[in-house]
């Protein structure tokens, strides 16, 4: 645990354009604003990035202001104390990850070693197929499969979803498919829609119902696993997830790598399977999640791959898999991990 004093060196809002548009049931995005926090102990510098949870009303500027307020607090704190001082969200995530990076650079030890994790291995990531007309989604699936992605995550909206997945299946016949409804289904349609998608080879449905309507899942007996996303923000939500077989852990929702580690352990102890996901983000925001995802059942870390540009030293992608880089938390770099 970082016990040396630190100061906030800078907090900035940065904008990254999306490659094309990223479209879900709640609308389309052509860019993403992230908050980047830089801390120092006077000799070393650590960075962390957070993407505001827009459906909670977070903004990058608001996150930057929250980080500035907490970092000017005269009370000394470390990562564990930070969990009590700030609520979950992108601001805490950026600061928490910056503190991990600072400790890694100060000690020369990579974050996975500091956290008691195994050294990272390449991971197959899902690639998102944005919500669109069936023929457009089929073409996008074919392009993604041609780039080596074997796991596709399709955004859905309720009406017309079976036709969309049938088209995606035709465009990428051998791809594994998972779907994300982003709260857009009605309870009355749940069983029929899940059955139709199961027949098309879908293995996981993420957040079909609006958060707060989760009770309908308890008696549903669906033929497909169901994963909580909007219904599972942080550790406190695990107690009310009956009916779900899996959760999607996102560091921006959880409020940092520290909280996400605790969530993963607790979820496993409850028999829940784990997806590690992300918001749109640069590789600086994805790198901590990549370490957490080493233990995941599903990896959905394409947030930087959907951007028109990324940072220097980005996470490497080859044949649909992510590989480690020196961008964040590498400590004394182990070259064999980059080969």
d(CA 53, CA 259): 16
C-alpha span between 70 and 11 (Å, rounded): 12
CA distances 224 to 173, 196, 208, Å, are 19, 10, 11
Establish whether 250 is a catalytic residue.
yes
For the question of residue 155 being annotated catalytic, the response is yes
SS3 breakdown of the chain: % helix, strand, coil, rounded to 5?
Answer: 35, 25, 40
Q: Which of 226, 211, 220 is nearest to 191 (CA)?
A: 220
In angstroms, the CA 38 to CA 296 distance is 28
d(CA 257, CA 50): 11
How far is Cα 285 from Cα 251, in angstroms, rounded to an integer? 9
20 CB neighbour count, 10 Å cutoff? 12
Separation CA 243–CA 99 (nearest Å) = 36
CA–CA separation, 157 and 142 (whole Å): 21
Catalytic residue among 29, 153, 155, 253: 155
Catalytic one among 29, 153, 250, 335? Answer: 250
Residue with tokens 């879900």: 24
Sign of CA pseudo-dihedral 195, 200, 206, 207: negative
Active site residues per annotation: 155, 250
């Amino acid at each position: 645990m970082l016990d040396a004093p630190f100061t906030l060196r800078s907090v900035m809002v940065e904008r990254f354009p999306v490659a094309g548009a990223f479209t879900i049931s709640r609308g389309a995005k052509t860019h993403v604003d992230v908050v980047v926090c830089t801390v120092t102990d006077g000799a070393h510098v650590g960075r962390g990035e957070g993407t505001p949870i827009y459906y909670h009303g977070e903004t990058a500027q608001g996150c930057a202001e929250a980080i500035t307020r907490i970092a000017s607090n005269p009370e000394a704190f470390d990562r564990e104390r930070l969990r009590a001082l700030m609520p979950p969200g992108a601001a805490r995530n950026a600061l928490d990850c910056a503190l991990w990076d600072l400790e890694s650079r100060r000690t020369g030890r990579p974050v996975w070693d500091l956290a008691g994790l195994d050294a990272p291995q390449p991971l197959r990531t899902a690639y998102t197929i944005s919500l669109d007309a069936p023929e457009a989604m089929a073409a996008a699936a074919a392009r993604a499969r041609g780039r080596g992605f074997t796991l596709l995550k399709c955004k859905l909206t309720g009406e017309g979803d079976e036709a969309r997945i049938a088209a995606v299946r035709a465009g990428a016949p051998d791809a594994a498919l998972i779907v994300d409804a982003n709260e857009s289904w009605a309870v009355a349609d749940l069983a029929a829609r899940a059955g139709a998608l199961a027949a098309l080879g879908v293995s996981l449905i993420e957040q079909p119902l609006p958060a707060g309507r989760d009770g309908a899942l308890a008696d549903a007996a669906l033929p497909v696993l169901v994963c909580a996303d909007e219904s599972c923000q942080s550790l406190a939500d695990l107690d009310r997830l009956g009916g779900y077989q899996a959760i999607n852990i996102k560091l921006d929702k959880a409020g940092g790598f520290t909280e996400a580690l605790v969530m993963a352990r607790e979820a496993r102890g409850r028999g829940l399977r784990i997806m590690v996901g992300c918001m749109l983000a640069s590789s600086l925001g994805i790198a901590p999640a990549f370490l957490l995802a080493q233990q995941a059942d599903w990896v959905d870390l394409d947030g930087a791959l959907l951007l028109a540009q990324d940072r220097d030293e980005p996470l490497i992608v080859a044949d649909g898999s992510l590989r480690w880089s020196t961008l964040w938390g590498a400590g004394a770099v182990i070259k064999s991990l980059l080969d």
